[in-house]
Amino acid sequence: MSAILLEAIQRRYACRRFVAGRPVAAGELAVLREAGRLAPSAFGLEPWRFITVEDGAGRAAVARACYDQPAAASAAAFIVIVALVAALDPDSDYVRARFEAEARGQDIAPTDAAYRAFYRAESIAVWAQGQCNFAAAQLLLQASHLGLGSCPIGGFDTAALAAALRVPPGETPALVIALGRCAHAAPQRMRKPAD
């Protein structure tokens, strides 16, 4: 039995500082976005999109919105996962298109009915942001597999980040992934015992 994925999981850790002047290649960023795109999601809604930030001014603005945490301040690139909140209205074209794609030619009525029973406008933003974590997990593991350092950042000024990225109304930043070549070795794992 192969343990390649488990090896990537064991190597993954939150890099707190990245090496200056070592960009993340465009091909690596494309592979990371693809890993996130392929993540599972409830109802097959994929309620996310990815914003890649590589330029100096953009990185500085994202770092400021992340309170200049060391990982954010030194990152070579970011992939910001944005939750598509407004698009999740049960009557939206987006939801209908996703249900039709998931149904693969079958009747979408059962999925539509289940989603309508689940949907509550006052809590859909929190749910959508939680769904974005599935994409983030796959993206982080792919970064580990590529030998990249990464750090998921959930502590940020939402309004400042949305403004820096020109996120339109109806969408909200869910998570920032800082990327680069880690400037320090992996720390010892501190996990609870398996039992």
Q: What is the pLDDT of residues 67-119, one digit of tens each?
A: 999 999 999 999 999 999 999 999 999 999 999 999 998 999 999 999 999 99
Distance, CA of 79 to CA of 151 (rounded, Å): 11
The CATH number assigned to the domain holding 175 equals 3.40.109.10
Q: What confidence tens digit (pLDDT) does each residue in 41-63 have?
A: 999 999 999 999 999 999 999 99
Distance, CA of 189 to CA of 124 (rounded, Å): 35
Give the domain range for residue 45.
Answer: 4-180
In a domain, 157, yes or no: yes
Question: Domain count of the chain?
Answer: 1
pLDDT of residue 189: 73
In a domain, 80, yes or no: yes
In a domain, 192, yes or no: no
pTM: 0.92
In a domain, 68, yes or no: yes
Distance, CA of 13 to CA of 1 (rounded, Å): 24
Q: What confidence tens digit (pLDDT) does each residue in 142-158 have?
A: 999 999 999 999 999 99
Give residues with Cβ within 8 angstroms of 82, minimum separation 6.
48, 49, 50, 51, 132, 165, 167, 171, 172, 173, 174
Confidence of residue 4 (pLDDT cuts 50, 70, 90): confident
* Count of CB atoms situated within 10 Å of the CB of 1: 3
In a domain, 110, yes or no: yes
HSE, CB side, 13 Å, CA atoms: give it for residue 72. 22
The neighbouring-strand residues paired with 82 are 49, 173
pLDDT of residue 187: 73
